[in-house]
Amino acid sequence: MDLRYLFGLQRKRKSAEPSIPANRFTILKEPMQTPAEIAALHFASYNVPAQLFAAPGRVNLIGEHTDYSDGFVMPAAIDFSTIVAISHRTDGRILAHSVNFQEHITKTVDELLAARAKSWSDYPAGVLWALREHGVPIDNGFSLTIAGDVPLGAGLSSSASVEVATAFAVLGATSYDMPLKQIALLCQRAENVFVGANVGIMDQFVSCCGAQDHAVMIDCRSLEYTLAPIPPEVRIVICNSMVKHSLAEGDGGYNTRRAEMEAGLRILQSHRPEIKALRDATMADLEKWGSEMSPASLRRCRHVITEDDRVLAAVEAFRASDLTRFGELMAQAMASFRDDFEASCPEIDILIDLANRQPGCFGARLTGGGFGGCTVNLVAADRAAAFVDAMRAGYLSATGIAAEIYTSRASAGAHQIPL
Ligand code: ADP
Ligand code: MG
């Protein structure tokens, strides 16, 4: 499996103009149904009691465009999640009810897994497909009720939360033991192969392995991970700029940047063959041989090499409860994303500038692939409400765009919900 394709690629949709994401989240109830209500909906649909499983969305705190260079990322699970209620069947069918899409499907297992439907059901179907390939017994069928409050297509990985919640549900219902890392890989495979989106492992990984009030630092080479404690008096505030720009290249700039990085990597490897990926290179290497690269390659490589160092330093900052230091690292990461990776945009710069002027904001940076999307901000809990108001008002008056803003703590990974 190609683990170099990591997070966020599917979010780089092509659009010449700033746009409001299509297909906004529909939800029957605000806030989302309680687990007891979801269990009751399941019973009303299928006339049998269910087991319930939840899996969170995520936000990347630091470590952008480092994943496909075997480097480090540091996301956190957020307290927006998808819940899957499950019960067994004996007729070889999958009945699934999406509360958000207000749709029921009924198919035999074979029909469901034969082809993608280009609908929300592809995500649970992909997971069932990957589980069956792995040998998990699914052929008797299941009834599922799926409800979530992770905003769709906002870059908070609602897709991974559906996948991981479905996997937990099926594994839980069949009492099939699987290590968390393997569940994450299986869900990534479901999205890569069945859904057809070239996403990396980060989203599924943190949805499985997240921990309350901790960030998850992932080594994208070994898939080892480290939990870094986030002080409980801080909130993670995510501001959605509601824009997504594409560059003239038509690929969101991603392919060009990747090619520039690879050209730089080849130059470093010609001097030090033991460099397998940019993760193995140092700033000293870049100082020695960077002059042989194009200026763009040099900047892309510098972003990746310095960003890996910042992720490692960020773990230490959290361990020392040093939010000021963490905020400095976020600011450096933002500058590198903007100036070296060159993937910011005017709307994001406005959000960052506004955030840095708010009391109680420790740090702010663009998160995700770039060219729009969301910023992530670490804000003192007692200032978070005022921060949200100021960001909303300031962004609206500067751009005319209403940002969507989500406040979260770092939350636990996937789990069963006791009823
Ligand atoms: P992101 O993962 O950034 O939110 P994606 O485009 O990768 O955006 O995934 C969004 C898709 O995941 C939705 O269009 C839908 O098909 C599926 N999905 C997400 N949440 C739910 C949900 N609660 N119920 C059913 N499908 C969902
Ligand atoms: Mg997704």
Domain residue spans of the chain: 3-229+412-417
pLDDT tier at 247, thresholds 50, 70, 90: low
Confidence (pLDDT) at 251: 61
Q: Give residue ranges with CB within 6 A of ligand 1.
A: 10-11, 23, 82, 98, 100-101, 120, 123, 146, 148, 150, 152-159, 162
Which tens digit of pLDDT belongs to each residue from 14-31? Answer: 333 333 333 333 343 567
Residue 367 CA to ligand 2 centre (angstroms): 14
Q: Give the mean pLDDT of 45-67.
A: 97
Confidence (pLDDT) at 26: 38
Give percent of the chain above pLDDT 90.
Answer: 87
Averaged confidence pLDDT in the chain:
91
pLDDT tier at 9, thresholds 50, 70, 90: very low
Q: Taking a C-beta distance cutoff of 8 angstroms, is the pair 363, 327 a contact? A: yes
Q: Helix, strand or coil for residue 306?
A: helix
The CA distances from residue 193 to 126, 251, 287, in Å, are 8, 21, 40
pLDDT at 12 over 50: no
Burial pattern 290-310, b for ≥16 Cβ within 10 A else e, equals beebeebbbbbbbbbbbbbeb
Q: Give the mean pLDDT of 48-72.
A: 97
Residues with CB under 5 A from ligand 2 (ion): 157, 159
Contacts for 133-138: CB closer than 8 Å, 24+ residues apart: 134/178, 134/186, 136/170, 136/171, 136/174, 136/176, 136/178, 137/174, 137/176, 138/109, 138/170, 138/174
Residue 124 CA to ligand 2 centre (angstroms): 13
Q: How far apart are CA 391 and CA 397, in angstroms?
A: 10
Q: Which atom of ligand 1 is found nearest the CA of 160?
A: 2
Confidence (pLDDT) at 255: 84
Q: Which atom of ligand 1 is found nearest the CA of 203?
A: 2
Residue 345: strand pairing partners: none
Residue 226: strand pairing partners: 217
The ligand that comes nearest to the alpha carbon of residue 57 is: 1
Residue 188 CA to ligand 2 centre (angstroms): 10
Confidence (pLDDT) at 10: 29
Q: Give the mean pLDDT of 253-269.
A: 93
- Identify the weakest region by mean pLDDT among 41-50, 239-248, 354-363: 239-248
pLDDT tier at 402, thresholds 50, 70, 90: very high
Residue 199 CA to ligand 1 centre (angstroms): 13
Q: Give the mean pLDDT of 402-413.
A: 97
pLDDT at 165 over 80: yes
Confidence (pLDDT) at 250: 58
The ligand that comes nearest to the alpha carbon of residue 13 is: 1
In angstroms, the first-to-last Cα distance of the chain is: 38
Confidence (pLDDT) at 16: 32
Mutation test residue for ligand 1: of 7, 59, 152, the one with most atoms within 8 Å of CB = 152
Which tens digit of pLDDT belongs to each residue from 332-365? Answer: 999 999 999 999 999 999 999 999 999 999 999 9
Q: Which atom of ligand 1 is found nearest the CA of 120?
A: 16
Tokens matching residue 234: 């801080």
Q: Which atom of ligand 1 is found nearest the CA of 11?
A: 3
Which tens digit of pLDDT belongs to each residue from 185-219? Answer: 999 999 999 999 988 899 999 999 999 999 999 99
pLDDT at 385 over 90: yes
Helix (H) or strand (E) holding 324: helix 323-339
Name the residue among 46, 60, 58 with its Cα closest to residue 93. Answer: 46
Q: Which atom of ligand 1 is found nearest the CA of 8?
A: 3
Mutation test residue for ligand 1: of 30, 156, 162, the one with most atoms within 8 Å of CB = 162
The ligand that comes nearest to the alpha carbon of residue 187 is: 2
Residue 374 CA to ligand 2 centre (angstroms): 14
Residue 16: DSSP 8-state: S
The ligand that comes nearest to the alpha carbon of residue 26 is: 1
pLDDT at 5 over 50: no
Confidence (pLDDT) at 17: 33
pLDDT at 394 over 80: yes
Q: Give the mean pLDDT of 62-75.
A: 96
Name the residue among 418, 419, 417, 415 with its Cα closest to residue 167. Answer: 415
Which tens digit of pLDDT belongs to each residue from 89-137? Answer: 999 999 999 999 999 999 999 999 999 999 999 999 999 999 999 999 9
Confidence (pLDDT) at 30: 62
Name the residue among 69, 90, 341, 314 with its Cα closest to residue 216. Answer: 314
Its CATH architecture, for the domain 3-229+412-417, is: 2-Layer Sandwich (3.30)
pTM: 0.91
Residue 152 CA to ligand 2 centre (angstroms): 8
Confidence (pLDDT) at 28: 39
203 is catalytic: yes
Q: Give the mean pLDDT of 22-46.
A: 75
Can you list the positions of beta strands (E) in 9-71? 51-62
Confidence (pLDDT) at 1: 21
pLDDT at 183 over 50: yes
Mutation test residue for ligand 1: of 158, 195, 406, the one with most atoms within 8 Å of CB = 158
Catalytic residue among 203, 280, 285, 340: 203
What's the chain's length in residues? Answer: 419
Give percent of the chain above pLDDT 70.
Answer: 91
The CA distances from residue 71 to 280, 304, 353, in Å, are 9, 8, 28
Q: When comparing pLDDT for 252 and 54, which is higher?
A: 54
